[in-house]
Every structure is written in C-alpha cells, then in structure tokens.
Structure 1
Amino acid sequence: MQELKLEYLDLYLIHFPISLIPGEQDFPFEKDELVHMDIKAVWEAMEECQKRGLTKSIGVSNFSCEKLQTLLNMAKIPPAVNQVEMSPLWQQKKLIQFCKEKGVHITAYSPLGAKGTLWGTNQVLENQVLKEIAEARGKTVAQVTYILRKVLTYTVTF
C-alpha cells in the first residue's frame, strides 16, 4: 500500500484462475508452464486483506461458473464481483444467471472486442449486423454496442 501511496483499495481481484511456474515467463505462455492454482489459499489471503481494511471489496476476474462454485464452497467472504469479457457477440448468459443467483455482481470488459491483444479481434466493430443497425440509426458501431450493453445487462443489475 505504501508503494501505491494508498490507504486501501476499493476492489481487489484475482485476475485469472490459473498460476504459472515461478520465475520469469514470456507471454503468451506455454501450456506446460501452467500449474494448479491453490484457490483456497489465495482466497484466504484476499479475505485477510479485506479484514485488515486494505481493500473494501474482493472479487475475481475470468472465473467460470465451475470455478466460482468451487470458490463459493470454501469462501468465508463471497466475491463481490466477477469481471469477465462480454460483448453483443459473447453475452455469457449462463454465467450472468449463475452470478445473479449467487449474489455476485458481473462487470464486463472489452465490449468492443480486444484488438491489439494477442487473442483479441475486431469481430464486434466489424460485425455486419451491428454496422447495419448503426448506419440505419446514424450512429457508430461503438454507440450501438454501448446501448446494447445497457439493454443486455439491465436484467442483471441488482
């Protein structure tokens, strides 16, 4: 916290439910560099951070329904958030419903795709249906996607 020059974090997330062999890794990493993540130990450390007041909330990112259920089965403090990639082309309806039932808030990233990353594409911005809707409304695909995001996630806001 001293290096960040902060008293606390608003939200502290486990970025991805995997671990890599200790040491320096190149990205993208090789499959044989993956090792089992001790979710129980990591989550207990996250809970301790919250108990000590170092963070207001704790959560996860990129967790599937299965990984979330594993975490929920052992957590004393459930995750407040699951941050996942979501767009009109990848709506993640099953995960949204699961999180809603479990009281875990969903927050989305990359609603326009993730071009520029190693795995990203421009599939959203280049989608013909979205282009046609945008053109018919005198909007950009990004504006249409923003409106769709609000409509699609309205039902999961609680």
Structure 2
Amino acid sequence: MIQSQQSALKQTLKNLEMENVDVYLVHWPVKLKPWVACAIPKEDEFEHLDLQTTRSGMEKCLEMGLCRGIGKDPTVLNFASVPPAVNQFCGELGIHVSAYSSHEAPGDCWESNAVVENPTIQSIALKHSNPCS
C-alpha cells in the first residue's frame, strides 16, 4: 500500500511537470476498486481504506521530498509521526484551516440544497447585513 501512495504521487507530479507539491492530503477518505473510473461510484465499488497504512505511505512521500506537507484526517493524530499540514478543524492546534466547496453547489451530484439557501444561514446573514456566502 505504501508503494501505492508513492506511485500515485509520482504520476501526479509527472502529469503536473513538478518535482513536489505543497500538500499531499486525503481529500475524501475512501478507496475505490482499481477498475472504477466513474465520478459517482456505486456502493459495491468501494474497498476498505486503512488510513494508518495510507498515512504511512504519505509520510514516506514527505521523506522522499515528493511533498512539503501532508494533511487532513484527524484520526491520524493517533498514529501519525508528522502532524497534518491541512486539517479542517485543527485551527487551535496551529494547523492551517481550509475548506473545499464549503457552500456546496445547487443541484450537485449528491442532490443536496446549497448551504446558502438554508433558512438559518440566511437569517444570520440578514441579521449581520452580510451575504450568505
């Protein structure tokens, strides 16, 4: 599995024509079966993801200089030897806070309503004379 993270990042770096990336992170902690190539996989197209092994592979990429930082999943704090560089709820630990698509998208593939259309969000925005976004 560790070789998998190295191979994947090396291929990405080759595609980007770069020597390293600033941050290597698990965007969505799932593992798809090797033959899956669709954007929205079916339930039977997932495999078990061992985050500890995945994290070890990412740390090896850091040691190799393929990335300058690694990050995301808070559960890795139980076994990570390097603290995450990006983690969405670790601001108090001095770790950079980021968000991806925090406002969602109307009509997205998960068929959810946009967060900005939520009545509570709209009420708070109105109270403070700010837009929902």
1:62-117 Cα shifts (integer Å, max 9, x gaps): x4xxxx33x2222221222224xxxxxxxxxxxx3xx3566544312223223242
Aligned to 1:51: 63
Could you state the TM-score of these two structures normalised by the residue count of structure 2?
A: 0.69
Aligned to 1:126: 117
2:97 and 2:64 map into 1 onto residues whose CA distance is: 25
Aligned to 1:106: 97
Question: 2:116 corresponds to which letter in structure 1?
Answer: L
2:34 and 2:100 map into 1 onto residues whose CA distance is: 28
Q: How many residues align?
A: 121
2:120 and 2:105 map into 1 onto residues whose CA distance is: 19
Aligned to 1:6: 18
- 8 Å contact from structure 1 (residues 11, 58) kept in 2: yes
Aligned to 1:154: none
- 8 Å contact from structure 2 (residues 107, 113) kept in 1: no
RMSD of equivalent CA atoms: 2.8
How far did residue 9 of structure 1 move?
A: 0.7
Q: Which structure would you say has the larger RCO, counting Cα contacts within 8 Å and 6 or more residues apart?
A: 2
Could you state the TM-score of these two structures normalised by the residue count of structure 1?
A: 0.60
1:27-66 correspondence runs (5 A): 27-60=39-72, 63=73
Cα distance change on mapping 1:100 and 1:132 into 2, 3 Å: closer
Unaligned runs of 5+ residues in structure 1 are 84-95, 143-158
Q: Percent identity?
A: 37
Unaligned runs of 5+ residues in structure 2 are 1-12
1:123 and 1:109 map into 2 onto residues whose CA distance is: 14
1:108-129 Cα shifts (integer Å, max 9, x gaps): 2223223242115344222335
